[in-house]
Amino acid sequence: MTHPLREGRGTEPFSRIPPELGARLRAQVPSLVEEALEDLRRRSREHSAPLGPADAERLRRALAAGVHGFLDRVEVGGPSPVLADALASEFRALGAAEARHGRTLECLHTGMRAAAAVAWRRLAAADALTREHMGVVGEAIFVFQEEVSGAAAEGHARVRGAGADALHRRRVRLLEALLAETGTEYDARAVSALAGAARWRAPGRVAVALLLQDGPAGRTAALPPDVLADLDRAEPCALVPDPEGPGRLRSLERSLRGADAVLGPSVPLDRVPVSLARARDLAELVRTGLVSGGGVLRWSDHLPALLLTRDPALVGEMARTRLAPLAGLRAPQRERMADTLLAWLESGLNANEAADRLRIHPQTVRYRMRRLEELFGERLRDPAERFELELVLRARGLLGPLAEGGG
C-alpha cells in the first residue's frame, strides 16, 4: 500500500517510502557513516592497504553527503531538480578530485555500498518498516547509488580525459622533437626534460614505424603505452622502444589491428631521423609494388631490395656492361636466358635446383647453360664476375628490364 502522504506521486520508489523515515534516520547519519567506514578499514587491512587518516576523512565527507542526499530525496518524496542538481554537482566534484589525485572510484563506490548495507541492517533490526516498504527502500537505494555513481564517474572521466589529452600532446611534442631533421645537434638535456613531462622512460634503442594504411585500422590502433605515436600527422608514425626485443614485432602487429606498416632500423635516440629516413625508403618500395606489403615489414629484412633500387641509373649502367653478351638475342629469348642464369646462380650452380625454381626440365637448364657459357665464356667461372651478374639480374627482377644491350 502506498503511504497516504505519497498518494498520487507516481511509482518512482522514493514516492512510496514513508516521509518520516528521513527524519528518523537523520540523527543516525554520523554513527551510520562511522560504521560504514569501519567496514572499509577492515576490508583495506585484509588487502594490505590500510586506510590512512586523510583517506578516511575524505570518505567520511563523501558518505555523509551521500546519506544526507538520500534522506533528502526520501523526505521530498521523489525527484527534486534542485536537490538532484546539487548532489550531482557534489559527486561530480568528488569524482574529479579522485582523478586529479590519480585514484580510482573503487573506494568511493565500496563506501557507498557499505553505507547502504549498514542502513539496511539498522532498519531491519529496528523493525521500522513493513516488508513492503523494506522492498521499496531497497529499490530506492539501488536507484540512488546508480545516480551518484554515475555523477562521480562523469567527473572522474572528465578530469582523466583532460589529463590524457594533455599527456598525449606532450608525447606528440616529444615525438616531433626526436623526429626533427633540422641538422642541429641532438640536445640530450632537452629530450630528457620532454620525456619527463611526457612520462616516457627513454630506452637505449628505438625504431620508427610508418603506417602505410590511412584507414580505421591504423586510426584505432591500441599501441602499447611505451610507444610514442601520432597517427593524425600527415605521415602517421610511431616510435617503438626496444624494437628487437622478444615478441615486439608480433605485439606491434596486434596493436595496429591489421594495418600495414614498415619498421626502420634500430638506432640510439640521437639517430631517430636516420630510422625515419630508412623507413621512408622501404615505404616507397611497398607503395610502388617493388616489395610486397602485409603486416609490419622490417627494414633489415629488405636490404638487398633497398640497395639495388637506391640508384637505378647506376644499376642500369652496370647491367648494360655486364649483360652485354645477351644483347644479340631476341627479346623473348633474352628474358628466358636471363631467368635461367639467375636461377643457376641462386642455386649454387646446380642445374637440378635451378630447374625446380623455374619449373622446367633439368635438361632444358643444361642446354641453356651451354649456350650461356658460349656467350659469357670464362666470366661464368670467375666468382667475382658471377657475383656481379647475380647482382644485376636481381636488380632486373626488381626494376624490370634493364638496358642489357650495347649502345
Q: What is the pLDDT of residue 275?
A: 93
**Has residue 205 got a pLDDT over 60?**
yes
The pLDDT-based confidence of 264 (bands split at 50, 70, 90) is very high
pLDDT value of position 218 = 46
pLDDT at res. 4:
37
CA separation, residue 324 to residues 306, 318, 327, 340, 343 (Å): 25, 10, 5, 16, 19
**Model confidence, pTM:** 0.54
Distance between CA atoms of 296 and 331, rounded to whole angstroms?
38
**5: pLDDT strictly greater than 70:** no
Q: Which residue has the higher pLDDT, 210 or 32?
A: 210
Query: Does the structure show a pLDDT above 70 at 164?
Result: no
The answer, yes or no, to whether residue 93 has pLDDT greater than 60, is yes
Q: Give the residue, 159 or 235, on which the prediction is more confident.
A: 235
Cell of 341: 642464369
CA-to-CA distance for 91 and 178, rounded, in angstroms? 42
Of all residues in the chain, the percent with pLDDT exceeding 90 is 9
State the pLDDT at residue 1. Answer: 37
The overall average pLDDT reported for the chain is 79
Q: Dump pLDDT digits (tens) for 286-302.
A: 888 888 877 888 898 88
pLDDT the model gives residue 190: 82
Angstrom distance (rounded) from CA 354 to CA 382: 19
d(CA 400, CA 397): 6
pLDDT in tens, 343-384: 888 888 898 998 888 899 989 989 999 999 889 888 888 888
Q: When comparing pLDDT for 135 and 274, which is higher?
A: 274
pLDDT tens readout for residues 120-143:
777 777 666 667 777 787 788 777
- The three cell numbers of residue 65 are 553527503
The stretch 152-175 carries a mean pLDDT of 78
Contact 203, 275 (CB under 8 A): no
**What average pLDDT score do residues 223-250 get?**
84
Confidence of residue 247 (pLDDT cuts 50, 70, 90): confident
> What's the grid cell of residue 375?
656467350
- Measured in whole angstroms, the distance separating CA 312 from the mean position of its chain's CA atoms is 38
DSSP string over 319-388: HHHHTGGGTTS-HHHHHHHHHHHHHHHHTTS-HHHHHHHHTS-HHHHHHHHHHHHHHHGGGGG-HHHHHH
pLDDT in tens, 38-51: 887 887 776 656 66
Residue 2: predicted pLDDT:
38
Q: In the chain, pLDDT over 70 holds for what percent of residues?
A: 84
Residue of 148, 301, 178 whose CA lies nearest to 238: 178
pLDDT at position 3, please?
A: 38
Taking residues 238-266, what's their average pLDDT? 83
Per-residue pLDDT at 128: 60
**Higher local confidence (pLDDT), 279 or 138:** 279
pLDDT of the residue at 189: 82
Banded pLDDT at 280 (limits 50, 70, 90): very high
pLDDT of residue 407: 37
Which amino acid does the sequence have at 153?
A
